[in-house]
A and B are shown apart, each in its own frame.
Chain A
């Protein structure tokens, strides 16, 4: 939290800040930081949970149980704020581990020249945990009040590799098992669906393993829109600013449950003198604030495949609306336009079309073969668009992007439009494309075929794939399985005789040739 604010401040003071803010040279996040439990926007239940836990640990050093609490949740939901508020409520001191700033390479060179040993941040963290485990908190200022101290680990070192992760896990597990003072470890799980990144898996694994080692766990959910609105209103009141209720609602919705983000947006918005044009912004896309929501590819696929639509036309057909034939008319979608969803999912067009292709047939109603064709034809179009990238020698990034998004859009809209009679929603697992396996094994088979041909038969040696796959292999299979032994024996004998006859032929020919010459 603290570090974040420092950076934020720096950024802000760099810009010419309008008069409204200059008087209070502080960001609203710091200024309106919750100090009382009632001020927290976090769910009451969760706060109580954390509070009770701390109270219990304070009362009696519970030997049987671990003294570690894991606080997990997405960013900006008030994990740290909750702990701090509770600490001040209980009147305990917080002893916080902050990860040291990373060493940059130039600095490292400088240090190593001057004889300093490089220490990775993970090493430092390990050292810290070791000390805490063995001696408790050794800081002289805190020695006296050991009983009313809690340790907060807010910032775990970044681990990238498997072994580093293993070290971190080991050292945290030890901490969970042996630490004597109440400790809270704050873990931010980044949006799970954001990326199939290695690190996200890491954190989940870590949570599970620490939990099984005996640590208590509290999961924080994104802050509700209602709570954010309440908080924003309070802040507005305190700052004596008038912001329209709908604007606050918009901010709250756009923040995606991240209260820190919401407050920042509010402050940013209040920088503007003219507020009248804010309220008329109703399209989520052109908001000057708002967190870009991310969707997983699967989420997006689900939207396209389930094809949820309104049951009737919401827009009354005016005189100037374009009249479509009956068969082209579809009910309006119950979601954003496909392109918006695609952008949020930031999926590749290729994999999107492959996934759609694999799964779409499950979502068609049983009799709708016409729909199936329509969908298939659009997917074929998308594939055609995508492959037009390949032939180009001069690769143009801009053109490529356009083609990619056009293809994705054709695939998604084709699936939505084509599936005119979607089955009533029921649960389907989304499979990964079988095409990948097929491509892989087909490549393998091809390699195998090519490697075999050179040591098998003369004429196959150089013949092409078509001939081999479609003519030689089936026959060889017949020949091979029906009479492998006899045939081989036969062929051995025959080989010899052929060799002999060939030899004769050779002689004949060379005679003729000599005559020719």
Chain B
């Protein structure tokens, strides 16, 4: 089991980061009920962990007994029935799923599942807790139609089910949905908090971590706790006992992107552009989302760039990022950005060095 899973706090009172949020949540559900919730915050900040802990707080240990299954939903879409296959994680009290995996059929999925949950509504012995919780991930990636249907179903079935939504940014969740939920913002953990977590893990694992080592990992993690823990574990496998000057292995794709960046800086020509395209293809083949590639590439380029060009380059990156989201073929836009950068950089070189 990965450390990320192993040391994931199981209950609200055991969390290390976001203790204040956890306490509030604990108070919120002390009556055994809760409103609809929307958790939002950057990736790796602990949204999912808090949600799981919250469920456990409500339903007790049985919420931990989850099973993963690939379920096929038969959805009646007017004239025909569609089969939608989705991976769900469910216990007796909750169902968790990524509706955006269903692509443009997401709107059917949400409705259908909620309906089904409403149909076999659990009845507690105490007559209480007659609701199930539906955890929806990546709500911001849901289409507008799906969010719209979500709003309607939220109202209609609010007696039998609670929704816990989880997304990276609340700005892509429609106003209507946001206003029906209690919004909980989860910030990215501070570096000190990450260090605390890493040291806690080190203690549990019985590892000696030299002074400042955890801080270095935290710094590299970009305030992403999940990444910090994964990196920590990778370091452990690579070299133990830890030394202070031990190289922290970067993510392979990030290394690749920085190679691309230095390729771009070295030569600006159509031929080099073609080589860069090949490397970008490599990344895309490995399912690295193009937005992330672009972001990382910009980051790497800006590191090496003269400050007077930074503004223009960032502007173009934003332009092509927008294009990429509107368009279909990410490579066209990625490449256009690279070409633009090369063109800017080359004319800069010529004007400064002649």
Question: Does B8 contact A380, Cβ atoms closer than 8 Å?
Answer: no
User: Which residue of B has the minimal Cβ distance to A368?
Assistant: B270
A379: contacting residue among B48, B97, B328, B336, CB under 8 A: B336
1/0 per residue, CB under 8 A from A, across B1-22: the answer is 1101110101100000000000
Report if A366-B271 is in contact (Cβ < 8 Å); known contacts: A470-B251, A509-B61: yes
Question: Does A383 contact B332, Cβ atoms closer than 8 Å?
Answer: yes
A441: contacting residue among B2, B68, B285, CB under 8 A: B285
Number of chain A interface residues as a range: 35 or more
* Chain A residues closer than 8 Å to B262, beta-carbon distance: none
Question: Does A465 contact B287, Cβ atoms closer than 8 Å?
Answer: yes
B268: contacting residue among A369, A384, A467, CB under 8 A: A369
Question: Does B287 contact A449, Cβ atoms closer than 8 Å?
Answer: yes
Question: Does B332 contact A376, Cβ atoms closer than 8 Å?
Answer: yes
B106 at the interface (CB under 8 A from A): no
* Chain B residues closer than 8 Å to A469, beta-carbon distance: 253, 286-289
Cα A483 to Cα B239 in complex, Å, equals 11
* Chain B residues closer than 8 Å to A370, beta-carbon distance: 343, 346-347
A28 at the interface (CB under 8 A from B): no
A472 at the interface (CB under 8 A from B): yes
B333 at the interface (CB under 8 A from A): yes
* Chain B residues closer than 8 Å to A446, beta-carbon distance: 287
Which residues of A (461-488) have their CB < 8 Å from a CB of B? 461-475, 477-479, 482-483, 487
Question: Does A487 contact B237, Cβ atoms closer than 8 Å?
Answer: yes
Question: Does B87 contact A372, Cβ atoms closer than 8 Å?
Answer: no
Report if A366-B234 is in contact (Cβ < 8 Å); known contacts: A361-B274, A513-B60: no
Question: Does B6 contact A494, Cβ atoms closer than 8 Å?
Answer: yes
Question: Does A380 contact B323, Cβ atoms closer than 8 Å?
Answer: yes
A498 at the interface (CB under 8 A from B): yes
B332: contacting residue among A380, A465, A473, A474, CB under 8 A: A380
* Chain B residues closer than 8 Å to A387, beta-carbon distance: 326-328
B160 at the interface (CB under 8 A from A): no
B8: contacting residue among A366, A450, A459, CB under 8 A: A459
Cα A459 to Cα B46 in complex, Å, equals 12
Which residues of B (5-64) have their CB < 8 Å from a CB of A? 5-6, 8, 10-11, 43-44, 48, 56, 60-61, 64
Cα A98 to Cα B224 in complex, Å, equals 78
Question: Does A383 contact B327, Cβ atoms closer than 8 Å?
Answer: yes
Cα A457 to Cα B281 in complex, Å, equals 28
A377 at the interface (CB under 8 A from B): yes
1/0 per residue, CB under 8 A from A, across B315-354: the answer is 0000010010011110111011011101100110000000
Max chain B CB contacts within 10 Å: which of A370, A375, A468, A502? A370
Q: Shortest distance in angstroms between B275's beta carbon and chain A's nearest beta carbon?
A: 10
Question: Does B336 contact A373, Cβ atoms closer than 8 Å?
Answer: yes
Q: Shortest distance in angstroms between B326's beta carbon and chain A's nearest beta carbon?
A: 6
Cα A463 to Cα B47 in complex, Å, equals 12
Cα A117 to Cα B311 in complex, Å, equals 81
Cα A442 to Cα B98 in complex, Å, equals 20
Question: Does A462 contact B98, Cβ atoms closer than 8 Å?
Answer: yes
* Chain A residues closer than 8 Å to B61, beta-carbon distance: 506, 509-510
For the complex, count residues of B whose C-beta is within 8 A of A: 76
Cα A96 to Cα B104 in complex, Å, equals 59
Q: Shortest distance in angstroms between B264's beta carbon and chain A's nearest beta carbon?
A: 11
1/0 per residue, CB under 8 A from B, across A389-412: the answer is 010000000000000000000000
Q: Shortest distance in angstroms between B26's beta carbon and chain A's nearest beta carbon?
A: 11
Q: Shortest distance in angstroms between A480's beta carbon and chain B's nearest beta carbon?
A: 9
* Chain B residues closer than 8 Å to A515, beta-carbon distance: none
A250 at the interface (CB under 8 A from B): no
Cα A362 to Cα B269 in complex, Å, equals 11
* Chain B residues closer than 8 Å to A366, beta-carbon distance: 269-271
A138 at the interface (CB under 8 A from B): no
Cα A369 to Cα B339 in complex, Å, equals 7
B93 at the interface (CB under 8 A from A): no
Cα A449 to Cα B286 in complex, Å, equals 10
Q: Shortest distance in angstroms between A498's beta carbon and chain B's nearest beta carbon?
A: 6
* Chain A residues closer than 8 Å to B125, beta-carbon distance: none
* Chain A residues closer than 8 Å to B300, beta-carbon distance: none
B284 at the interface (CB under 8 A from A): yes
A281 at the interface (CB under 8 A from B): no
Q: Shortest distance in angstroms between B42's beta carbon and chain A's nearest beta carbon?
A: 11
Max chain A CB contacts within 10 Å: which of B60, B69, B335? B335
Report if A457-B2 is in contact (Cβ < 8 Å); known contacts: A384-B323, A387-B328, A462-B89: yes
A438 at the interface (CB under 8 A from B): yes
Q: Shortest distance in angstroms between B283's beta carbon and chain A's nearest beta carbon?
A: 9
* Chain B residues closer than 8 Å to A449, beta-carbon distance: 287
**9-residue interface stretch from B178-186, B212-220, B225-233:** B225-233
* Chain A residues closer than 8 Å to B69, beta-carbon distance: 454
Question: Does A502 contact B70, Cβ atoms closer than 8 Å?
Answer: no
Question: Does B1 contact A445, Cβ atoms closer than 8 Å?
Answer: no
Cα A353 to Cα B5 in complex, Å, equals 45
B138 at the interface (CB under 8 A from A): yes
Question: Does A505 contact B285, Cβ atoms closer than 8 Å?
Answer: no
Max chain A CB contacts within 10 Å: which of B1, B269, B287, B326? B287
Q: Shortest distance in angstroms between B25's beta carbon and chain A's nearest beta carbon?
A: 15
Cα A459 to Cα B98 in complex, Å, equals 13
Q: Shortest distance in angstroms between B285's beta carbon and chain A's nearest beta carbon?
A: 5
* Chain B residues closer than 8 Å to A453, beta-carbon distance: 87
B249 at the interface (CB under 8 A from A): yes
B273 at the interface (CB under 8 A from A): yes
Q: Shortest distance in angstroms between B141's beta carbon and chain A's nearest beta carbon?
A: 8
User: Which residue of B has the minimal Cβ distance to A502?
Assistant: B10
Question: Does A470 contact B270, Cβ atoms closer than 8 Å?
Answer: no
User: Which residue of A has the minimal Cβ distance to B70?
Assistant: A454
B247 at the interface (CB under 8 A from A): no
Max chain A CB contacts within 10 Å: which of B253, B328, B346? B328
Cα A384 to Cα B88 in complex, Å, equals 34
* Chain B residues closer than 8 Å to A382, beta-carbon distance: 332
* Chain A residues closer than 8 Å to B336, beta-carbon distance: 373, 376-377, 379-380
* Chain A residues closer than 8 Å to B288, beta-carbon distance: 469-470
B137 at the interface (CB under 8 A from A): yes
Question: Does B287 contact A373, Cβ atoms closer than 8 Å?
Answer: no
Closest CB pairs A-B (n = 10): A373-B339, A376-B336, A387-B328, A475-B230, A469-B287, A364-B270, A474-B251, A376-B339, A380-B336, A383-B327
Beyond the given pairs A354-B329, A380-B327, A446-B287, 4 more chain A to chain B contacts, judged by CB atoms under 8 angstroms and listed by A's residue number, are A373-B339, A377-B336, A382-B332, A442-B285
27 A-B pairs with CB atoms under 8 Å apart are A366-B269, A366-B270, A366-B271, A369-B343, A370-B346, A372-B270, A372-B339, A373-B336, A376-B338, A376-B339, A376-B340, A377-B336, A380-B332, A382-B332, A445-B286, A457-B1, A464-B100, A465-B287, A468-B287, A470-B253, A473-B286, A478-B234, A483-B237, A487-B237, A498-B1, A502-B10, A509-B60
